[in-house]
Structure formats: C-alpha cells, structure tokens
Structure 1
Amino acid sequence: MRRLISLALPATVCLTLACATLPSTASPKAKAKPVAQKQATAVRFGPTYATHDDAMQFADEVAARRNLDRDWVRATIGGARMLPNVPRLMLPAAKGTPKNWNAYRARFIDPVRIAAGVRFWRDNADTLARAEAEFGVPAEIIVGIIGVETIYGRNMGSFRVIDALSTLAFDFPQAHPRAAERQAFFRDELESFLSMESRTHEDPMRPLGSYAGAMGMPQFMPSSLAKYAVDFDGDGKIDLVNDTADVIGSVANYFKAFGWKRGMPSTFPVRFDEARLQKAILLAPDILPTFGADSFVAAGAVLDGDSANYKGLLALIELQNGADAPTYVAGTQNFYVITRYNWSSYYAMSVLDLGREVKTSMEQ
C-alpha cells in the first residue's frame, strides 16, 4: 500500500510514518545504483550559528511549536555553518541582462542528457506507465523534470542541507527585492527539515542537496517532500535519492496535487494576426491562463487545427531570444502546473522539450 506523508502544517497535519523520509545515506533496498554524494571540498564556510542570537531564538521557537527536544534543535542549528557564497546566488540577475531562450534551452537539451533520459525511461518503463495511469501525468513530463533537475540523479547537490537552509534563513541577502518574504520561506523550510529529521531519527548533518536546500533526484524542498513524496513501491519508506519508483511517483503526485489535467496538452503553437494584435493585453497576465479561445483570438492570436477548438483557458507565453525575435506559444493549465515546480516559463519549456526529445529517441 502506498503511503503519503505530510509535515506541512503542524497544527493540522502530523507525521504518521516515522521511517518515511529522504534518507541521509543509501537505502538498504535501493532501486537504483546509489549515487555517491560528498561535501564539495571547494565550498567555503563561515562561522557556525551557535553564537548567532537570532538563530538560537528561532531554535527555541521551533522546539516549542513542533514539540521537539530544545537541546537537539539548538545543537543542530548551532552546528550549521554559514556558506558565504550562497546568499549572492539568490540575487536576481542584474537589470538589463537579456533573456535568451535558445541559450537557456541548450543548457538542458543536449545529447548527454537525452541519452541518460532514454536509459532512465527504459530502466523504469513499467513504473512510469503505472504513475501515468494513477496520476495522469505522462511519462515524458516526469522524465523531463528529473532530467532537467539532476540529470537522473547525477547531480543532486553537494551542500549540506542544514548549512544551506540555515544560511538562507538567517543571512538571506537584504539586497534582494523580496528579501523578507524569501527569508521567511527558508525559515519555514528549515523548520520542516528539522521536524522531519527529528521524527525519523536521521542525522540532520548528513543530507546533501542544492545551495537552496533541495534534495534528491527531483530536488524537493523539505516541505514539498513532506507534502508530496510517496512510497510508490510500498516498501515502507520514501527514498528520493536511490529509489526511482519513489522518485517517479512523487513527481507525478506533485503535479496532480497542483491541478494537472489528464490528457490536456501543455502548449499549442500560436501565430499573430498583426492587424488585430493586442500583444500587451495578451502578455499582461504573464503565464497564468486567463483567456478563453475566443478572447485569445479576438486579441490577435491565431490558433490552428485542434487548438482552435480548445475549451480551456490559455496564456500567451513569450520566450525572449536576446537580440533575436522572441518565441511564442499558447500555454494551457498544464503548462502553468509545470511552472509550480519552478516559477519560470523557460524552465517549463525545457522540461517539455527534454521529455519530447527523449520520447522521440525512444521511438527511433
């Protein structure tokens, strides 16, 4: 029986299966070859947070809210090390930096990643088919996500999660335009991580992930792992590092939870009737599907073939190409769902394109 674990809000949801979490080390019953993860030797460290008054106050508050051992929480946060290079990685690109979809796409759609995707799909074909049948999410979308995120487990991050989350919780760059909001987000993620590690009796100093604290093949943040990760092979634990069944099921469950519609295309081709085009109106809602097909067309967008009869809402997606003309597609609700994984239309298009390229290679 597949079990879903949630740690999202302690007032309403509790951990019901203590052994179900992202393991710090390889699972005894791994379904994929264990991927070696070592703390990057090039990472520079600042002081620990043991003498950081704000961090220790936060530790006391977390212990009280989550009913955790106060000394354990203080020792865990106190043992976290500040990562001096991480805050600057959170700063947005300088204003005026041109976006370039073709350059962005080239980072993720390449022969190495496509070949790795083909191997992953073939090795996990039955599980991917089962996930598609249960959640309605096509195999190519799941394969695209895992490939874009970590090249199917090859690059899951080399930062200690406790260091990354603590750095962003207590030393988030104040130059960021949304500093207060983002810092609060990372404090919540740190709290979710501590709660999870306490209840599973894992060593909180061992899990590795990205510089933002994302973990495993699908790069789930702690709260996402708590809310959406599933034991898809029914072995009694959730392992997003080595167990590809759990990885596949968890990604599919994430998309279903955010409103993925079975059988709905993610994008349609679009062109423009320049005589009627009101591009500013079409682009105003950004990636949020807002227009019915009639209002979409009335503003100068042209849909051909089956897309002209589409009954759902649409968004005009603009992908800039530096000095060259932008690329445009019409995005559906499912395109918007992909952006809930990473709030970027460029990211979502990379996921779609990688999945399509892998599928095409599978069929050759």
Structure 2
Amino acid sequence: MKLVSFISVMFLSFSVSAAQSSPAELQQQFIETMVTKHNFDRDFVSQTIAKSKVNHKILSAIAKPWEAKPWHQYYPIFLTEKRLNKGLAFWQKHKQTLLKAERETGVPAQIIVAIIGVETFYGTYTGNYSVLDALTTLGFHYPPRATFFRSELAQLFLLAREENFDITALKGSYAGAMGWGQFISSSYRHYAVDFDGDGVRDLLNNPVDAIGSVANYFKKHGWKAGQDIAYQAEVSGNQYTKLLSKSLKYKHTWQQLENAGVQIPHQNINAQQSVKLLAFEQVNNQEYWLGLPNFYVITRYNHSPLYAMAVFQFSQQLKQAMN
C-alpha cells in the first residue's frame, strides 16, 4: 500500500471512530486529556463535568445564528438610535481610557466602543447561560463543531485555574463567551489585559479592562493604525462575480478587482493592495463593498462579514456623532 493511501485510510478510520464516539466516551477522553496534558486532578474534572447539564436551548440557538440572516434584516438589530446614544455615553464616561487604548494599540476609540456595544450593549446583556453547560453541551452533543468547543472547554478549565474563577458560576452566551467584550475562554487567556493596574484581568465586571482587552485583541490580530476599513463599491459587467466568495481570506489585489469592473469613486488605492469584494443583500438588490485589511481584522473577532460591517458602520455613526 502506498504511504499516502495508508495515511488516508488511517485518517478515515480515525475520523469515523471519532464521529461514532458517544457523549460519555468523549467526556472520558476529555477528562483523560485534562489529567495527562494539563495536570488536573481527575476527581475534580469528573465532578465538575458531572455538575453540567445538556441545554437544548443552546443547541437550538447555535443552529439559528443571527449571522445567517440577510444583511437588510441583520443590520437593524445593531444600528439603532438607542445603541448609538448608549455608546456615546459610554465613550464620554471612559474617554481617557479609550484615549490610552488608542495611543498604546493604534485601535481607534470608535471601533472599541462599537465592539462592546454590539456584543453586550455596554455590559447590559452579557449572557445568562452557564458557560460550563454551554461548552459541555456543544463539546459533547454538537458534532459539527464539537472539537472546537471541547478545546474551549479545556481552555475554560485552564482559565478558571489561572484566574481563580468558580467554573460552575460563570455566565455567558450560548457559545460560552463571557463579559463586556464576550471573550471565549481561549481569547480571555491570550488577549485579556489588566488595563487599570489593579492586578486582575477582569472582563466580567470591569469595563476598563474590557476596553484594553478589545484593543489588545485587535492589535494582536494585525490592526493597522490610521488605515481605512472598507469603501462602498460600484460594479459593472459580470466579471466581478468571479471574485466573490464565502471565504474570508483576501486572495485578490485591487488591480484584479478594478480590471473585473469594480470601481471606488474618489479613492486612490495601491494597485497591489490586498482587498476583498463583499456583497450584502438588500431588499431589492446587492450592495457591494471593498474590504481592506482592517476589515479582515474585525472578522477575527467574529467570523462573519455581516458582523464586521455592522461594527464598521456603527463605529462610523459613533465617530460622526462625537465629532
């Protein structure tokens, strides 16, 4: 048997075996990993998992994400007068903290304010689901993304150990995101910062730490200070349709898009600039935008162009109102 064929067969056998594992078997595998890889006490992990419950509302929620809506139904959820007013009040209250974050990371205040506003309406809605229940439900009972959520469950145990959290008391979204900025466990561990210098990275109750942590997240994911995010585009002909894709990766240059009939009035763009053509569904037509590298960075926070566009447009509203 050729090596490639042998590897393919072995991989297929492993995949089928993993797919057929029961929730109980997956739990035992998880417990073993936490003990052998991360040096947790077996009884502690077992007893903690035993305290979790399968939440069918979580399974229903993840099957119908808001990001599955068309743009014309999605953006009115976030671009509201009420959210704008709340955002302006948040900006005024935390003006010095936002200036500090912008100075240290290059991420503008309006983006940070927009993210926290879209995520939790400025700490108003941080989630009422047990984070433990969310991650065990999705990690052991939601095959499409079970591997990811088991990884986040492991990160939750590590986070609780590092930050001295009561793992059974943590509340968040149906996907296990926590706090003002809705950080998942791995993001909390890797990107949260103690922005007020009190010795604690508190994203659950401290908006100052949340501001610094959102800014740090964007900086670590490649935010380019002083650069634009997106431009509304015009299209002609039909060659541009070949450049549209669901992938979030940037695979084309501005020269390629321009040659395919994409125009950006009143903007001078480098021919070799890496860009992405985006289409957003309105009621009677498609609206086209040119995504620049900073737009891609926003999609690192939530892997949806609709989310990134809502954040961008909300940030523009905030900036205009503040000015």
- TM class by smaller structure: 0.7 to 0.9
The answer to whether 1:201 aligns with 2:164 is yes
TM superposition shift of 1:200? 3.2
Taking only aligned residues, the RMSD between alpha carbons, in angstroms, comes to 2.0
Among 90, 95, 98, the alignment partner of 1:120 is 90
1:223-238 matches, within 5 Å, as 223-238=186-201
Retained in 2: the 8 A contact 1:150–1:217? yes
Correspondence for 1:88? 60
Correspondence for 1:21? none
Give the AA of the match of 1:318.
A
Correspondence for 1:301? 262
Correspondence for 1:47? none
The answer to whether 1:66 aligns with 2:38 is yes
Among 229, 243, 249, the alignment partner of 1:282 is 243
Structure 1 CA distance, aligned partners of 2:120 and 2:96?
A: 21
The answer to whether 1:333 aligns with 2:293 is yes
Correspondence for 2:152? 189
Structure 2 CA distance, aligned partners of 1:116 and 1:333?
A: 28
Give the AA of the match of 1:354.
F
Gap change, CA 1:307 and 1:151, over 3 Å in 2: farther
Structure 2 CA distance, aligned partners of 1:219 and 1:296?
A: 35
Give the AA of the match of 2:164.
H
Cα distance per residue 1:110-137 (max 9 Å; x no partner): 1111111001100111111111111111
Among 111, 124, 127, the alignment partner of 1:154 is 124
Retained in 1: the 8 A contact 2:255–2:272? no
Moved more, 332-341 or 265-274: 265-274
Equivalences, count: 300
Correspondence for 1:346? 306
Cα distance per residue 1:126-181 (max 9 Å; x no partner): 11111111111111111111111000100000011111111111111x4xxxx1xx
Among 126, 139, 145, the alignment partner of 2:115 is 145
Unaligned 5+ runs, structure 2: 1-22
SS in 1 for 2:287: strand
Structure 2 CA distance, aligned partners of 1:354 and 1:241?
A: 23
Retained in 1: the 8 A contact 2:193–2:213? yes
Structure 2 CA distance, aligned partners of 1:279 and 1:100?
A: 21
Q: Which has the higher contact order (CA 8 A, sep 6+)?
A: 1
Correspondence for 2:179? 216
Give the AA of the match of 2:218.
F
Structure 1 CA distance, aligned partners of 2:246 and 2:28?
A: 42
Moved more, 192-201 or 154-163: 192-201
Unaligned 5+ runs, structure 1: 1-50
Richer in helix (by share): 2
Among 236, 241, 250, the alignment partner of 2:204 is 241
Structure 2 CA distance, aligned partners of 1:110 and 1:147?
A: 11
Among 310, 313, 338, the alignment partner of 2:274 is 313
SS in 1 for 2:32: helix
TM superposition shift of 1:78? 1.0
TM-score, length of structure 1 as denominator length: 0.78
SS in 2 for 1:316: strand
Structure 2 CA distance, aligned partners of 1:338 and 1:138?
A: 13
Among 90, 99, 124, the alignment partner of 1:129 is 99
Give the AA of the match of 1:332.
L
TM superposition shift of 1:312? 2.1
Structure 1 CA distance, aligned partners of 2:125 and 2:88?
A: 17
Retained in 2: the 8 A contact 1:233–1:246? yes
Correspondence for 1:8? none
Give the AA of the match of 2:299.
T
Give the AA of the match of 1:91.
A
Retained in 1: the 8 A contact 2:191–2:216? yes
SS in 2 for 1:77: helix
Following superposition, which runs of at least 4 residues in structure 1 exceed 6 angstroms of deviation? none
Identity %: 38
Structure 1 CA distance, aligned partners of 2:57 and 2:280?
A: 30
SS in 2 for 1:270: strand
Give the AA of the match of 1:270.
A
Correspondence for 1:360? 320
TM superposition shift of 1:311? 5.4
